[in-house]
Amino acid sequence: METEFRALAELCEKLEATSKRTLMVSLVAEFLKHLRDDEVEPAISMILGRAFPRWDQRTLEVSWATMSGSIKRLTNVDWKDFTKAFSKTGDIGAATKIMFESSRIQRQATLFEKPVTILEARRSLEAIAETSGYGSRERKECLIETLLGEVTPLEAKYIVKIMIGEMRTGFHEGLMELAVSKAFNVPHDVVQRASMLTGDIGEVAAIAKTRGREGISKLQFQVFRPIKPMLAQTAEDINEALKEHGGLTAFEHKLDGARVQIHKAMNKVRIYSRRLTDVTASFPEIVRLTREEVKASEAILEGEIIAVGKDGTPLPFQHFMRRFRRVHDIEEMVKRIPVELFLFDLIYIDGKSLIVDPYVERRKKLKEIAGNIPLTRQIITSSPREAERFLGEAINKGHEGLVAKKLDSPYTLGVRGKRWFKIKLSLEPLDLVIVAAEYGYGRRHNWLSDYYLAARDSESGEFLVVGKTFKGLTDEEIKDMTRRLEEAAIKEEHRRVVVPPKIVVEVAYNEVQKSPKYKCGMALRFARIMRIREDKSPEEADTIQKVRKIYEKQFEKKAIYR
């Protein structure tokens, strides 16, 4: 018998009501134990706020305007009530639940109605994602209304949260790995490794349920299944990196482009962004280059794609992003904004995983198979002076700085640690998320040009505002941003709109100040947007904990010189 979606919604409600991680893990583990084999992956994806597995390239492509239209028609409630509910809860799903509860239409299930199951909810989401072409918006609306029309207010809350990808229960992927371990009696480290290799904990759990430890121990990389990239911490300077790496390390130019993961199997090549989305169509020349040059039947490589000017020097990141988001008129854009690929790591080759191999060995093998594709510039040194000179060279060439890589470091998927450090000359910018915006004044009166910037709370998943800015974007970027924000607007009040936390921007600032104005108690001074990070997801935004550390470090330094 199929499990009702109501049971999943009730579980999520319990998760939302507690901050005790051990209790959360126990609740989810118990829930997973009683699912059918074919329900495990869909349920896990939904609990984590995803319609589909992480590796699945399908998207719902449903705007808030479309979804809100369906909710309005189903509930027939004055939309001002939704605005009030959202103001009270700050949560789209919770506001939807209130709308359905106060609906004048009696929506309780009767004895003759069949409850929606987890698998039926997944099939509905698949149908929405696969609807395209002329009239697709109307067909999507019909599918959404059919699904929401068959569920209770509590279920509607979580259907909406899954569709917009904003679960906010505080139950993240790391806790899910613990729950899977507990549910199916498989050691946590085995589950964690399998999750990294496959790129999706839902698939791992499904195998753990049917084949146990032996089944998931056999899991390996699959070409065309993107995996989480290894991440770098920020070092204050060259000396910190050298000290942490035992006095000798590899320094590489940190390029101002987009990090990509390239998968190759014979003549087939796919390119994935650091968000694990397929961007192959945007870079036909990189596909051709990889196909012609990489000397391996199968490979998973990492590199950086940068835009270059006529003289071969790097173009600003904003220029590159015009290529990154492009899906139409590609050949014309190839001529207008040429790009170059620089490789820096090799993760898998011809059936063999290299993630436990030392970094220097992976780099050596990469050079052997790269053909005429250049590798990022590198030096291996113990000399701070030589490293400083190399940093200056990187900056002078228009790059961001350096990455320091420990020579014997394995490739730790999805982990940010001290084996890799990024080093820049100036105060490191923050990746923040736009959660609201205001219309400007004067010639900007029709544009949403004043942006509320938020950092993610790593404990609760909440996005906390740390400042506002109207600086940094060009007129064209502001116009495009206005269109995107207006389409996503959940709530409008006077000259301000509130939006789901989706768009990530890189923000420069002078310092972090104490401020009673914001809930977090801090604010960025002289914040300005440096660029829009289409290559980053809200989950990759910097945390409020990081902002607090920056503030405390500033305070310590200021105290010394009083």
Instruction: Give CA separation, 275 vs 55, 58, 186, in Å.
Output: 10, 14, 28
Using an 8 Å Cβ cutoff, are 57 and 281 in contact?
A: no
> What is the per-residue pLDDT for 351?
92
> What is the per-residue pLDDT for 83?
81
Using an 8 Å Cβ cutoff, are 534 and 471 in contact?
A: no
> What is the per-residue pLDDT for 318?
67
Instruction: Give CA separation, 520 vs 69, 412, 431, 432, 435, in Å.
Output: 34, 32, 17, 14, 15
> What is the per-residue pLDDT for 411?
95
> What is the per-residue pLDDT for 327?
64
Q: Where are the domains of the chain?
A: 5-164, 231-423, 430-560
Domain 430-560 superfamily per CATH: Nucleic acid-binding proteins (2.40.50.140)
For 125-139, the pLDDT digits (tens) are: 999 999 988 988 899
> What is the per-residue pLDDT for 555?
53
Active site residue 491: no
Neighbouring-strand partners of residue 250: 380, 405
User: Collapsing DSSP states into helix, strand and coil, what is residue 211?
Assistant: helix
> What is the per-residue pLDDT for 109?
45
Answer yes or no: pTM beyond 0.85: no
Using an 8 Å Cβ cutoff, are 299 and 264 in contact?
A: yes
> What is the per-residue pLDDT for 53?
92
Residues in the chain: 562
Residue 355 is given by DSSP the state: T
Distance between CA 404 and CA 560 in Å, rounded? 30
> What is the per-residue pLDDT for 526?
86
Distance between CA 465 and CA 521 in Å, rounded? 10
Q: Which CATH class is domain 231-423?
A: alpha beta
Domain 5-164 superfamily per CATH: DNA ligase, ATP-dependent, N-terminal domain (1.10.3260.10)
Give pLDDT < 70 ranges for the chain: 104-113, 318, 325-328, 426-427, 554-562
Distance between CA 80 and CA 97 in Å, rounded? 15
Per the residue annotation, which of 254, 405, 406, 491 is the catalytic one? 254
